[in-house]
């Protein structure tokens, strides 16, 4: 494609009037303005990151105005500005959200590496005999110590937006992937205080009233922090499999771009969980249902549980 100098000269002449829209979690803006007194729309979207080794080797050192937002165990997160030769570092607003895992674990490396995805079906028997023992091992290895640090008041207390103490208590804080500014990209976490609920599999019919109470409080806390929001602009869901095994509820704005975190086979609506529990006999719960979800080929669960079962089923076919 050939360059057109006349077309290139138009962009610097754009006179901004108003912001029409900001979407894709804040990565695209639609601006109304004019060029030579003629109405114009300018749509700007962040380009993909360069992937060549030469650029990536200097990427971290080129960042400006690196500001830490939080630090808990191996997890750190920041705002930063892309470097620019034409502007001083102090004049650049932050345009990057940075997460740092240090020291990182082999499990985190596997999680964030490009990998194939599989659809698996977890029966109550597979859960009881294979998945739950795996979950208990991960908890014993200290995988959720950073959550306990928050619950016990050792870290991130300045980020806690709401807290209700007690055996059925919980707290609310921002998800580390949210920039804490873009309301339409809102992403909060409701983390329960009790430690007997490791995932949605531990929820039973007896928890229905408590779950309804938690949701009401999560709505109140969120609207209290962001009064321009309304209750029907919020979505509540639980991941399965979750990133960490301590029950937590995701609260997101309905306009948040539905990426992997909200995908079918990952996110399960809190309202749907409550409704399903209500239909169950007393004493029954989510451990008694069959769940189908997606899983990465580099994950421990795929390697240790589902891939061997797949091979066994294929060999017996």
Ramachandran area for residue 304 (φ above 0: left; ψ -120 to 50: alpha; else beta): alpha
- Provide the strand spans (E) within the chain: 15-23, 28-35, 38-45, 64-72, 75-81, 96-101, 117-122, 162-164, 170-174, 187-192, 234-239, 248-253, 267-269, 291-296
DSSP state of 48: P
- CA 11/CA 7 separation, integer angstroms: 8
- Nearest alpha-carbon partner for 118 in 317, 316, 310, 271: 310
What phi and psi values does residue 148 have, to the nearest 5 degrees? -60, -35
Select which of 130, 246, 248, 250 is catalytic.
Answer: 248
Structure tokens at 46: 């962040």
Measured distance between the N- and C-terminal CA atoms of the chain, rounded to whole angstroms = 54
DSSP state of 305: I
Is 246 in the active site? no
Structure tokens at 122: 């977890």
Q: How far is CA 127 from CA 15, 68, 121, 298, in A?
A: 60, 39, 10, 19
Structure tokens at 298: 């580099």
Task: Check: CB of residue 248 under 8 Å from CB of residue 191.
Answer: yes
Neighbours of 81 (CB within 10 A): 20
Residues carrying an active site annotation: 248
């Amino acid at each position: 494609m050939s360059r057109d100098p006349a077309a290139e000269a138009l962009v610097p002449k754009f006179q901004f009037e108003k912001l029409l829209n900001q979407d894709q979690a804040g990565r695209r803006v639609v601006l109304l303005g004019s060029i030579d007194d003629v109405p114009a729309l300018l749509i700007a979207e962040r380009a993909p990151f360069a992937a060549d080794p030469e650029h990536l080797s200097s990427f971290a050192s080129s960042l400006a105005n690196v500001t830490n937002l939080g630090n808990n165990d191996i997890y750190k997160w920041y705002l930063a500005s892309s470097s620019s030769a034409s502007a001083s570092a102090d004049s650049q607003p932050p345009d990057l959200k940075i997460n740092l895992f240090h020291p990182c674990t082999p499990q985190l490396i596997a999680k964030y590496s490009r990998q194939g995805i599989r659809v698996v079906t977890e029966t109550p028997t597979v859960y009881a005999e294979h998945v739950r023992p795996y979950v208990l091992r991960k908890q014993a290895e200290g995988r959720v110590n950073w959550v306990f640090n928050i619950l016990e008041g050792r870290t991130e207390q300045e980020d806690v937006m709401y807290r209700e103490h007690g055996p059925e208590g919980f707290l609310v804080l921002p998800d580390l992937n949210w920039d804490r500014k873009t309301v339409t990209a809102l992403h909060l976490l409701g983390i329960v205080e009790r430690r007997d609920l490791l995932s949605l599999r531990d929820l039973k019919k007896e928890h229905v009233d408590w779950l309804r109470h938690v949701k009401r409080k999560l709505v109140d806390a969120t609207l209290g922090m962001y009064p321009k929001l309304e209750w029907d602009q919020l979505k509540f869901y639980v991941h399965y499999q979750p990133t960490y095994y301590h029950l937590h509820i995701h609260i997101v704005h309905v306009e948040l771009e539905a990426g992997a975190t909200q995908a079918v086979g990952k996110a399960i609506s809190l309202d749907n969980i409550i409704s399903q529990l209500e239909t169950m006999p007393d004493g029954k719960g989510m451990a008694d249902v069959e769940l189908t979800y997606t899983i990465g080929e580099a994950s421990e669960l795929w390697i240790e549980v589902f891939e061997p079962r797949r091979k066994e089923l294929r060999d017996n076919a």
